[in-house]
Chains A and B, each alone.
Chain A
Amino acid sequence: DGGITQSPKYLFRKEGQNVTLSCEQNLNHDAMYWYRQDPGQGLRLIYYSQIVNDFQKGDIAEGYSVSREKKESFPLTVTSAQKNPTAFYLCATRTSGGAAETQYFGPGTRLLVL
């Protein structure tokens, strides 16, 4: 069954703690993305990766880190430097090549601060 999986569905973070959100895909897409969603603000890009072992900062990268060691996986770490981490986090992948330029989204992880 092809698709994008994100885990966990809900995640709780204590102050000063780093937490890692998982994103896995079996669509064989090269590009992967992380977005943050807050009420009334739409989606904002955190990081993206177009190829294994390479990634770029998005618009709100401060307080976050990523890695891309495998094509299938793009984990996001929310570090203690991110002072307002409570949000809904969405992972996406992108087809590429002319008329196929489209992003597809996972089910999301909701991060809450204790």
Chain B
Amino acid sequence: AQSVTQLDSQVPVFEEAPVELRCNYSSSVSVYLFWYVQYPNQGLQLLLKYLSGSTLVKGINGFEAEFNKSQTSFHLRKPSVHISDTAEYFCAVSKFGNEKLTFGTGTRLTIIP
């Protein structure tokens, strides 16, 4: 079975500073990887996904993530954050051909003005 670890439950960052949210996964087979964002009292919105191909994936709102197979990581980055990026971010993994997603416990990103 696969699992996902988000190492930081909360990350405070000053506005216009860079940010990295960490995600590590565990799986014995090839996987698909996803980052979702959740604003307060809303559903999850897909930020980006890695299915195959280039290991650097670009998503919405200026976010990107890099798939590192040797380190089993899929860290999310943004070079300059904005107040509107304040939200909770979830990393998720699924196995090839498996219909189920496994989620991490989330990282709450707080932007300090």
Which A residues contact B (CB, under 8 angstroms)? 4, 6, 31, 40-45, 48, 50, 58, 88, 90, 92, 94, 96, 98-99, 101-108, 110
| B34 touching A102, Cβ below 8 Å | yes
Can you list 21 pairs linking A and B with CB atoms under 8 Å apart?
A: A40-B106, A41-B105, A42-B90, A42-B104, A43-B44, A43-B90, A44-B103, A48-B100, A90-B44, A92-B44, A94-B99, A98-B51, A99-B51, A101-B51, A102-B49, A104-B46, A105-B44, A107-B42, A107-B43, A108-B43, A110-B41
Interface centre among B9, B99, B106 (most CB of A within 10 A): B99
> Considering only CB atoms, which chain B residue lies closest to A110 in the complex?
B41
| A42 touching B103, Cβ below 8 Å | yes
Q: Which of chain B's residues 49-68 have a Cβ closer than 8 Å to chain A?
A: 49, 51-52
Chain A residues with CB below 8 A from B101, complex form: 45, 103
